[in-house]
Amino acid sequence: MRLLLWPDDDGDDATDQTVLVWEQDGSLGGFIIYSLRPWAEGCIERPVPFIEGWFVRKDLRLCGVGRALVAAVEDRARADGFNEVGSNVAVANRASLAAHRRLGFEPTERVQYFRKNLRLDEIRVVVTVEAFSGSRSDLLPLFALADDSPTEINGYFELGEVLVAWRAQQVIGHIQLIAAGTDWEIKSVAVLEKQRGQGIGVALVHAALERAFSAGAGRVVVATATADIDNLRFYQRLGFRMDRMERDVFGIERGYPILEVDGIRIRDRLWFSIRAEDRRLPGAAAETR
């Protein structure tokens, strides 16, 4: 459970932290870790009990387990004479933000942390986007990142054209285009997890739009799950406009497992489209850094 919460966790417990667990019939369903910090942003007391980590097993969420764990920390803090408990949440973690509010936590200060890699110029390598002419089977791991249904992937992964992003002789992303008259569809797009956040997805979409519109496409369409907030934001930032919604697309009859994003069940699909005059991308470019 710690690795689900902190993938890079080394397993070492800090000596000044207390771990409480929720257990039923010999099975652990969640944990909460708290410590006594000398001070904490937004808190009045010094020192102050502070929640360092909080996790509930997926099948037990929204069942009161998380509330019970927080209540246990609050009871201990109150018994020790404290009047407040602190906690923090990543700004992008909407589920945890909502959970804290439901349990009575009040937002205080909002801090954005920054870092600068002093070795970035030494490791930066040009990313090139180009047409893929090899075996599509080699790209199946990327297609699987974009679509959770092997059944659906098998039905379309050989269709249309595929562009790939290369870095240091390695394929790190792809985008698939399928033409249907004057409409071209972005059917699949993915970037390797460790390569995300570097503009590679934008470069792939940019290259796909250049390819489609230069071939005479009237518009380019793309669909994504209504629950995938990051994708909804991504396409709209690139100038795509929302067209329509399809209900109950992501079901077991089409090979999809039951999935959630930020606590939202994945069921429906939103379609977006963009025309040449709508684009917000800069001028044509085949490379990015």
Q: Are residues 132 and 22 located together in one domain of the fold?
A: no
- Please report the pLDDT score of residue 92 as a whole number: 80
Q: Are residues 126 and 86 located together in one domain of the fold?
A: no
- Nearest one of 147, 230, 251, 126 to 190, comparing CA atoms: 147
Which residue has 């080699």 as its token pair?
A: 138
**Which of the residues in the chain have pLDDT under 50?**
281-289
Q: Are residues 98 and 136 located together in one domain of the fold?
A: no
Q: How far apart are CA 214 and CA 279, in angstroms?
A: 14
Residue 109 belongs to a domain? no
Q: Are the C-beta atoms of 180 and 161 separated by less than 8 Å?
A: no
- Please report the pLDDT score of residue 113 as a whole number: 82
How far CA 276 is from CA of 206, 214, 218, 223, 279, in Å, comes to 11, 10, 8, 18, 6
Q: How far apart are CA 261 and CA 227, in angstroms?
A: 6
- Please report the pLDDT score of residue 262 as a whole number: 74
* pTM strictly above 0.75: no
Q: How far apart are CA 263 and CA 270, in angstroms?
A: 18
- Report the length, in residues, of the chain: 289
- Please report the pLDDT score of residue 286 as a whole number: 40
Q: How many domains does the chain have?
A: 2
Residue 113 belongs to a domain? no
Q: How far apart are CA 21 and CA 44, in angstroms?
A: 28
* CATH code (residue 252): 3.40.630.30
Q: How far apart are CA 168 and CA 125, in angstroms?
A: 7
Q: Are residues 144 and 36 located together in one domain of the fold?
A: no
Chain segment 65-75, per-residue pLDDT in tens: 999 999 999 99
How far CA 274 is from CA of 15, 174, 223, 236, 240, in Å, comes to 55, 19, 12, 10, 5
What is the domain extent for residue 226?
A: 120-288
Q: Are residues 284 and 142 located together in one domain of the fold?
A: yes
Q: Are residues 227 and 165 located together in one domain of the fold?
A: yes
Give the SS3 label for residue 269: strand
Residue 107 belongs to a domain? no
Q: Are residues 75 and 158 located together in one domain of the fold?
A: no
Q: Are residues 86 and 125 located together in one domain of the fold?
A: no
Q: Are residues 142 and 281 located together in one domain of the fold?
A: yes
Chain segment 111-141, per-residue pLDDT in tens: 888 887 776 655 556 889 999 999 999 999 9
- Nearest one of 138, 186, 141, 134 to 160, comparing CA atoms: 186
Q: Are residues 40 and 140 located together in one domain of the fold?
A: no
Residue 112 belongs to a domain? no
- Please report the pLDDT score of residue 243 as a whole number: 94
Provide Rg for the chain, Cα atoms.
23
β-pairing, 219-225 with 269-274? Answer: antiparallel
Residue 110 belongs to a domain? no
